[in-house]
Structure 1
Amino acid sequence: MFSVVIPLYNKELSIRNTIQSVLNQTCQDFEIVVVNDGSTDNSAAVVEAIVDDRIRLIHQKNQGVSAARNRGIEEARCEWIAFLDGDDLWDKAHLQEISLMMQKFPDDKVFVTSFEYSDKRAMFRHPRSEPIFKVQNYFKEAMKESLMWTSIVVVHKSCVEVVGGFNEKLNRGEDLDLWARLAREYQVIKSEKVTAVYRVEAENRSVSSFDTSKSRVFNYNFRDSKSPDETLYYKNQITNALRSYLISRRISLFVKLYATHYRYVSLLSILKLKKS
């Protein structure tokens, strides 16, 4: 039923526990597709030492996490793609919760649960009347709440064929870019149940050198916006990025990003000033 796609790059300290969290699932109808994206440590050997016929390890030269995820989608034998990063963990009921969501909304194709950070930091959540629900306005709600994150997303394989996979030209925000494209075309079904842990202390969390020209906020084209809420969502994302550059005194990055979007984002909004 599920193809669990795990990109792997230098995660030898984490990958065993990540895979074990899949093997521990109460729902056992899955395969695990691990795409080794040119790891230079013992990550691949750790995977190979785990004995389970449902695990397939695929090797490719280092091309980045988006290319690894896309390769995993291509190799998937099941119709449902469940994403999981190589250093995160699932609760044993993660796939079972997704299955319950599918039963409640059998005509939908994009399902997400909820997650928590391993350091237990506070997270904003909109109040909901039901534990499993349709997200009514993704772009409006995502400005406050982390609705979608890689290790809680399950999509039908046909969705990726419609909207495209992860943008391999991006090395920042490539996941949010795909979620936005999915939200344009499909209803997002969400559960309040926390079924995954984002391990903030995991090794090698960021492996690519920062290049603002390869970030989602830099490459967004406002002419592609399909609604006022989507426009506002990206204005908010870009404004926050610009503000962070100012605070951290990365002036060259600020100038580069602002020059790209100055028609849509004002200096007053970046500085949180209001016109008198």
Structure 2
Amino acid sequence: MSRRLLFGTPLRDWTRTVIGCVIVAIILFPLYWMTNVSLQPRAALLATELRFLPIPPLTENYVRVFGEQAGSIGTSLFIATTTAIVCLLIAAPAAYALVVFRLRWLTLFVLLLLIVQMIPHVVVANALYAIYARAGLLNTHLGLILADASMGVPFAILILRAFIVSLPRSLIEAALVDGATHWGAFTRIILPLSRNGLITSGLFCFLFAWSDFLFALTMGTQGKIVPITLGIYKYIGNENTSWNSIMAAAVLASIPPIVLLLAGQRYITAGLVGGAVKE
């Protein structure tokens, strides 16, 4: 059967390429429009005509917004980084224990971890607020870090457990036979081999904390701790909204996650795929 060709390439390949380009364009359009609006003056946003290109581009929005939100970006970096570290410190030993030790209710426990991921954040926030009010953790970095970690730890455990299960169990058994303790086998063998899983879990926990708005709004009642999500929210007023400032702040807030995802892309792919294959 002859294949239909277009410029020497099978028509089916051209169709797939066009469909892929359309999907990519749809995904990237919000980022383009966000950047476009951020480079326009306020008067242009109130005009009836749509401007698809910021001519001339106004970079003053970024200078002003960065000056106003530099502290919020630093706060978010500290909270997100610390949250990722806390999640890994808890999730890695827990995942190892779930793999090595024969727990009677293991399946039920894993199911509970999945259920925890389905609980709406607003329900968790209301419960944590009552606890934090009594414990004195409101308006503190520690309180916000623990709140973000409460949602990141179950996810990290699931990712790391799937990755550790894919490793040959004989490695752990050989280490124990040679006289190593479970802690030694965990720190010297499992952790180095689980680098991809650790980076994947850490990045996702970082993104959870970086994009958190509800916990930051609920736990920071006095406005002492203002992460970038709350910083963007402050540009929304009752009578007017500074859309160019919002978009400029959103672009700045997108830079750290984009850089981390690009830098850790190969680790994320290996970490997610690694847990799907058992040797």
TM-score, normalised with respect to structure 1: 0.23
Q: Which has the higher contact order (CA 8 A, sep 6+)?
A: 2
Larger helix share, 1 or 2:
2
TM-score, normalised with respect to structure 2: 0.23
- Structure (1 or 2) with the larger CA radius of gyration: 2
